[in-house]
Structure 1
Amino acid sequence: MRVFSAALAALLSFQVAIAKPLTPLRLRSPPAVKETHFVPRGWAATGEPTPDHVLDIKIGLKNKRFAELEQHLYEISNPSHHRYGQHFSKEEVDNLVRPNENASTLVDEWLQDNGIEPSQCSYSSAKDWISVSLPVSQIENMLDTKYSVYRHEDGTSMIRTTSWSLPQHLHEHVSTIQPTTAFLRASPKLQTVLESPDVEVAAEDFPPNSSDLNGVCNWEGVTPACLRTLYGTIDYTPQSPESHIGFTNYLGEVTNRNDTAAFLQQFRKEAVSSAYSFEQISIDGGPIDNGTGGRGYEANLDVETITGQVWPINITSYSTGGSPPFAADLFTPTNTNEPYLTWLDYVLSQSDLPQTISTSYGDDEQTVPLSYAQSVCEGFAQLGLRGVSLLFSSGDNGVGANGTCVSNDGKNTTTFLPAFPASCPYVTTVGGTRGYPEAVAYDTRNGYVSGSGFSNYFAQPAYQKDSGVVDQYIASLNGKLDGLYNKTGRAYPDVAAQGYRYITIYNGSVATLDGTSCSSPTTASIIALVNDALLAAGKSPLGFLNPWLYTGAGAQAFTDVLTGSSTGCNTAGFEAKQGWDVASGWGTPQFPTMLDILGVGGDADQ
């Protein structure tokens, strides 16, 4: 029997060997166009990249179990479900998104057919993303495409293409490859209002003008004391050593510890030492504070806003650069790889994450191809499943900046311009307010208007459908604005907070800043304090917030915003109304009410 078995094994081995294809995989399956995307407004091709210019390619493999992941996410985020708060571990999420062996093998074989060995690649912890650095000429051959250098009217340059192909048998396995057709620039959502060389600003230099807030606030210069009083966190002392909040930096922005210390010295003296102790993480060459000063207002605004409200909760600053190596040339002096994929690749590989993360960057949804937006959004869903509350700014151009409201589909029709990642259904999007009683934020001096809208990429999610509030708001418009927005799309923002004239110290000078870049870190700070109370009580953190807001009791903890409008595109835009509305979501947070709803209200006075 052993002789027969050996002979049979040899025969089977021979049959397998002769059955193995002798021709390259790409020749057995001809290339077909996988994706096309129109060049967004403001961009123009200016030349060809040098053939040896290196691009850092990320290949996303489709998650064929995403519907299952989404169901888990909704169940553990729904307070009425018996699984509420049972967040997944990194390993459990990885198992849900890991491609099947056949898909991984086919993609690896395609890469090898193009002269790329596995040793040249890096793989995400779930093996669903493959990263490799290659010259443009090799990528063009792989994707049967031609790259060009595109320059934006503001001077930004990118190497991109408008169409790319894959062997037909790979279409069902690959979700996206970038950078190819994505023109996202991830700009900060803030506007500078006023700068002054006088750094010796003190809280009393901004006299109160609101008796409703016990004389704490001046709406021309919002401070941490004002925010903590307005939203009810002023008497709360964080209790859990596990509490952790993070925020993201892109585009070379970096915090400045000396500025942060100066800010805290004026507005929260007991927290000054934290300016030099919060954690900074560099992702793919992202800059960190080296004592030479900050780069950009956004990073300082975020750390000063958050530290001024959550001290002594642990804080992490993520600074994401482009994936090295990067070789600048005449056309592309800076790295313009998509930042969210790089950031996601890092954070999803970590076992220990902040319970709350704020991001104040975004761009018009139509500047990115659908496949890219879906892949990034699914990555955000993974973080939600792991118990992370992700908050994003809604944007600073209302429903679209005047003069820019044109579709990017070749038809050039007039349309509102939703923002991404604000339009992702797996994040909580934060709009801006101003003054008291709070109204939808705007500033005529710089054109700032709190952003809002309906996604053209993502359908209205289950939590919005089940609550019925979005459809009720649409019905209340009585046909007004029809044709300018997608009535079946995910609507945002979900909530709002002050986003007008925040005092910030940047490179030793005082500035006041507008924008939903103020609103997101403020709301994230309040959620971080809620999570602290939950952790201290032995409960799970909130995680993905939206089901709690729309179908749970969460909305009861927000103050309705009744006035103002997210104007834009030469229209009055969406108006604030009673109840949920597209201009301000559920309104602004009330921390004590949140604690009461969650059953930890007794800790609020500690």
Structure 2
Amino acid sequence: MLVFFPLALAAVAAAQTLSPSVQHAKRTHLPAGWSRVRRHASDAVLPLRFGLTQPNTDMNTLEALLNDVSHPESPNYGMHWTPARVAEHFAPSDEAIHAVTSWIADNGLAKERVRVSKTKGWVMLNASVAETEALLNTEYHVFVHESSGKEHVACDEYNLPAHIIPHVAVVTPSIDFNAILTKRSSGTTSTHITIGQPGAGTVSPKLTTTISTILTELEDCDKQITPACLRALYGFVYTPLAAKKNSYGIVEYTPQAYRPADLDMFAKNFSSIGPSLVGSRPVLKSIDGGVVQNETASFGVNGESNLDLQYAMNLVTGYQNITLYQTGDLEMGASFNNLLDALDGSYCTFEGGDDPENDGIYPDTLPGGYQGDDCGTIKPANVISTSYGYDEASLSFAYSSRQCAEYAKLGLMGVTVLYSSGDNGVAGNDGCLTPDGSESEDGKIFNPSFPSTCPFVTSVGATQVNPGAQVTDPESACDQVIFSGGGFSNYFAIPDYQKGAVAAYLSANPPPYAATIYNSTGGSRAYPDISANGANYVVAVDNAFGLVYGTSASSPVVGAILTMVNDQRIFWGKKPIGFINPTIYSPAFKGAFNDITNGTNPGCGTVGFSAAKGYDPVTGLGTPNFPKLLALWLLLP
């Protein structure tokens, strides 16, 4: 664990029958907009959950396992694991279950009240606040969000016996504030978890203006980006050959939803290779009651999904289906954990593992709520693109690292996971950091994005065709409306695959900032990994065309390109490319990306970092050169 701002996770003590209470986690600050208002009632009931430590999930072990199937020089390249092997390898031990349940019982809570999840990942019970405070040696308070008035229950820190700490990764509810609750009022539709809500503070595209004239010539790509511009920029002309054996998934969180009429409007104006896309729809895979809702329509609720699907569907052509992972019902909503539950049964935390303050809890008891338990119900697509993200500082290290480990497990199964890097340069969705680690609009310290800082996802930044430039000219880092998210993690150490590239950048282009402004150790995960155009996208939204900006556009474009690389490999009887980072940073792939050497990613009162030759924390390795990438990946086993 690499922590720039202290987020206390106590050192492990030797197991013993009676051991001292040791601090396990502490929040150093309240997230922006929250204030403590009162102690929580002692007789209130909390859904107390202990996430057990999964073996083999320390970052070094995970990286070694992934390198074995993902590094181009490994003899096991492409030999991805089955879900059953993943579940067996990472299952918590019986020793951990016994230790935690016995400790709870020793504190006077009847064993009959304690349950273990079917995946053995969680020990859970419903306990009063008084019981929980005694068990964890803490105090629970009620917090209120100043703008919404919504309430949240949390503690500032909690403690565990030293002999229990090795067995517990996270306790919920405890210190996390990674979602704002929105209560459902009578007669209206709202969500419980706000990741898909307009203005929720996650990565989201920006609309600047509607347009009445679509410019279709490549000479106009500096003013309007269309599928033809993207094909020209990245040499991306390809007809699928193995579409039925291939898959590409786009993730959306209800109430975000595409409008069928807008898909057709886009398809009529921008022809695709192969069958017409007019009337074509993504293949819906509903997770936890996810619906393509039509109750509300606006750019805020249609813009993201329309953007993702219009470009993803067009670029992979009418031959290749797109899978839509629509996540969360209208009543409860959902989080990244709900998506991961459905993709991997070994992560599934149904029956108590998900945090009711941060994640959707299903079955949903709200009127009209989804009554299912979507855990391990979805076969992951070969490539999955997500255009949402949190600020790293909004999450505890325990919560983030547990989720990061799951992305590694998906990589072991041969899944390429892409995340947008953010649209605020070196700042976060909720501003920059202050010296105590809190987020503020007045902060001066760089605020990295999660999951982009997880070493086991591929983070995608944004570039632009410069005003007045031709589509054949080099792009620059995006500085129109949005700035490409990038920087250095405060939580995760630098992975081996990135060490050489980052060291070269810092040596040749030392950032002119004090060590107190960003994680300047040189030993932390840098992001993004790669980039694609993110400015001036022509998107049909609510029966009109507009210009849209964001890394929200970059990620699905990269996903489409990688999906077609998979198509060619599958056609020749090879495996999908899976986790790509060890490969794209390897010497064999040098020159496979269009190097971006101009532009910065401002934020926090600075110009941010500078794009430079080779890797940089603004645009990563650069933008994809499809012919080169395809040729190189076909050379691999």
* TM-score, normalization by structure 2: 0.78
1:346 is the counterpart of 2:342:
yes
Post-superposition offset of 1:430: 0.6
Which range moves more in the overlay, 413-422 or 139-148? 139-148
1:35-62 residue CA offsets vs partner (Å, 9 max, x unmatched): 1012345232253567787766653221
| Identity percentage of aligned residues | 31
Residues in 2 aligned to 1:97 and 1:320: alpha-carbon distance in whole angstroms: 25
Which range moves more in the overlay, 535-544 or 224-233? 224-233
1:485 is the counterpart of 2:508:
no
* Partner of residue 568 from structure 2, selected from 529, 533, 536: 533
Residues in 2 aligned to 1:78 and 1:53: alpha-carbon distance in whole angstroms: 51
**Residue 27 of structure 2 contacts residue 157 of structure 2 at CA under 8 Å; is this kept in 1?**
yes
Residues in 2 aligned to 1:56 and 1:250: alpha-carbon distance in whole angstroms: 24
Residues in 1 aligned to 2:71 and 2:393: alpha-carbon distance in whole angstroms: 31
Residues in 2 aligned to 1:194 and 1:116: alpha-carbon distance in whole angstroms: 58
* Partner of residue 421 from structure 2, selected from 388, 394, 398: 394
Residues in 1 aligned to 2:574 and 2:104: alpha-carbon distance in whole angstroms: 46
Which range moves more in the overlay, 405-414 or 28-37? 405-414
Equivalent in the alignment of 1:280: 285
Residues in 2 aligned to 1:156 and 1:250: alpha-carbon distance in whole angstroms: 23
Post-superposition offset of 1:142: 4.8
Post-superposition offset of 1:97: 0.7
Q: Structure 1 residues 31, 432: CA separation in 2 closer, same or farther (over 3 Å shift)?
A: same
**Residue 48 of structure 2 contacts residue 124 of structure 2 at CA under 8 Å; is this kept in 1?**
yes
* Partner of residue 450 from structure 1, selected from 475, 484, 487: 484
Equivalent in the alignment of 1:505: 540
Q: Structure 1 residues 219, 135: CA separation in 2 closer, same or farther (over 3 Å shift)?
A: farther
State the one-letter code of the partner of 1:183.
F
Q: Structure 1 residues 89, 408: CA separation in 2 closer, same or farther (over 3 Å shift)?
A: farther
* Partner of residue 323 from structure 2, selected from 312, 316, 320: 316
SS at match of 2:264: helix
* Partner of residue 373 from structure 1, selected from 373, 383, 400: 400
SS at match of 2:492: strand
Residues in 2 aligned to 1:315 and 1:53: alpha-carbon distance in whole angstroms: 45
State the one-letter code of the partner of 2:172.
Q
1:65 is the counterpart of 2:67:
no
Equivalent in the alignment of 2:366: none
1:245 is the counterpart of 2:248:
yes
* Partner of residue 208 from structure 2, selected from 187, 194, 211: 194
1:117-172 residue CA offsets vs partner (Å, 9 max, x unmatched): 58866434xx3345777776765555443333434455374433321233433211
Q: Structure 1 residues 29, 237: CA separation in 2 closer, same or farther (over 3 Å shift)?
A: same
1:169 is the counterpart of 2:178:
no
Post-superposition offset of 1:438: 1.0
RMSD over aligned CA atoms reads 3.3
Equivalent in the alignment of 1:404: 432
**Residue 233 of structure 1 contacts residue 591 of structure 1 at CA under 8 Å; is this kept in 2?**
yes
**Residue 414 of structure 2 contacts residue 576 of structure 2 at CA under 8 Å; is this kept in 1?**
yes
Larger radius of gyration: 1
Equivalent in the alignment of 2:455: 425
* Partner of residue 118 from structure 2, selected from 114, 123, 130: 123
State the one-letter code of the partner of 1:221.
Q
* Partner of residue 588 from structure 1, selected from 614, 623, 631: 623
Q: Structure 1 residues 540, 564: CA separation in 2 closer, same or farther (over 3 Å shift)?
A: same
* Partner of residue 76 from structure 1, selected from 61, 69, 74: 69
Post-superposition offset of 1:245: 1.1
Post-superposition offset of 1:562: 1.4
Residues in 2 aligned to 1:432 and 1:341: alpha-carbon distance in whole angstroms: 26
SS at match of 1:225: helix
Q: Structure 1 residues 237, 149: CA separation in 2 closer, same or farther (over 3 Å shift)?
A: same
Q: Structure 1 residues 540, 207: CA separation in 2 closer, same or farther (over 3 Å shift)?
A: closer
1:146 is the counterpart of 2:139:
yes
State the one-letter code of the partner of 2:399.
Y
1:322-341 alignment runs, 5 A limit: 339-341=335-337
Equivalent in the alignment of 1:6: none
Equivalent in the alignment of 2:478: 441
Residues in 2 aligned to 1:305 and 1:492: alpha-carbon distance in whole angstroms: 24
Residues in 2 aligned to 1:498 and 1:132: alpha-carbon distance in whole angstroms: 48
State the one-letter code of the partner of 2:322.
I
Which structure carries more helix by proportion? 1
Equivalent in the alignment of 1:33: 23
Equivalent in the alignment of 1:103: 96
Post-superposition offset of 1:524: 1.0
Residues in 1 aligned to 2:222 and 2:159: alpha-carbon distance in whole angstroms: 53
Residues in 2 aligned to 1:514 and 1:58: alpha-carbon distance in whole angstroms: 40
SS at match of 1:73: helix
Residues in 2 aligned to 1:530 and 1:316: alpha-carbon distance in whole angstroms: 17
Residues in 2 aligned to 1:34 and 1:193: alpha-carbon distance in whole angstroms: 43
**Residue 431 of structure 1 contacts residue 495 of structure 1 at CA under 8 Å; is this kept in 2?**
yes
State the one-letter code of the partner of 2:56.
R
Q: Structure 1 residues 90, 131: CA separation in 2 closer, same or farther (over 3 Å shift)?
A: farther
**Residue 597 of structure 2 contacts residue 611 of structure 2 at CA under 8 Å; is this kept in 1?**
yes
Post-superposition offset of 1:472: 1.1
Post-superposition offset of 1:429: 0.6
Equivalent in the alignment of 1:94: 87
Q: Structure 1 residues 98, 565: CA separation in 2 closer, same or farther (over 3 Å shift)?
A: same
Post-superposition offset of 1:247: 2.2
State the one-letter code of the partner of 2:461.
G
Residues in 1 aligned to 2:611 and 2:36: alpha-carbon distance in whole angstroms: 43
Post-superposition offset of 1:552: 4.5
1:520 is the counterpart of 2:565:
no
State the one-letter code of the partner of 2:541.
Y
Residues in 1 aligned to 2:62 and 2:228: alpha-carbon distance in whole angstroms: 41
State the one-letter code of the partner of 1:457.
Y
1:229-287 residue CA offsets vs partner (Å, 9 max, x unmatched): 3222234334231211112223632333333233223223644356435223223x4x3
Q: Structure 1 residues 530, 164: CA separation in 2 closer, same or farther (over 3 Å shift)?
A: same
1:79-122 residue CA offsets vs partner (Å, 9 max, x unmatched): 11111111111111112111111112223445666457588664
State the one-letter code of the partner of 2:304.
E
Q: Structure 1 residues 288, 251: CA separation in 2 closer, same or farther (over 3 Å shift)?
A: closer
Q: Structure 1 residues 177, 318: CA separation in 2 closer, same or farther (over 3 Å shift)?
A: farther
Residues in 1 aligned to 2:245 and 2:488: alpha-carbon distance in whole angstroms: 36
State the one-letter code of the partner of 1:268.
S
1:355 is the counterpart of 2:382:
yes
Q: Structure 1 residues 258, 179: CA separation in 2 closer, same or farther (over 3 Å shift)?
A: farther
Residues in 2 aligned to 1:592 and 1:84: alpha-carbon distance in whole angstroms: 21
State the one-letter code of the partner of 1:222.
I
SS at match of 2:596: coil
Equivalent in the alignment of 1:205: 214
1:173-217 residue CA offsets vs partner (Å, 9 max, x unmatched): 011123422222454323423354x8xx6xx7224352xxxxxx5
Residues in 2 aligned to 1:299 and 1:57: alpha-carbon distance in whole angstroms: 35
Which range moves more in the overlay, 554-563 or 420-429? 554-563
Query: Structure 1: which 5+ runs fail to align?
Result: 1-25, 211-216, 327-333, 602-606
Post-superposition offset of 1:374: 1.0
**Residue 446 of structure 2 contacts residue 518 of structure 2 at CA under 8 Å; is this kept in 1?**
yes
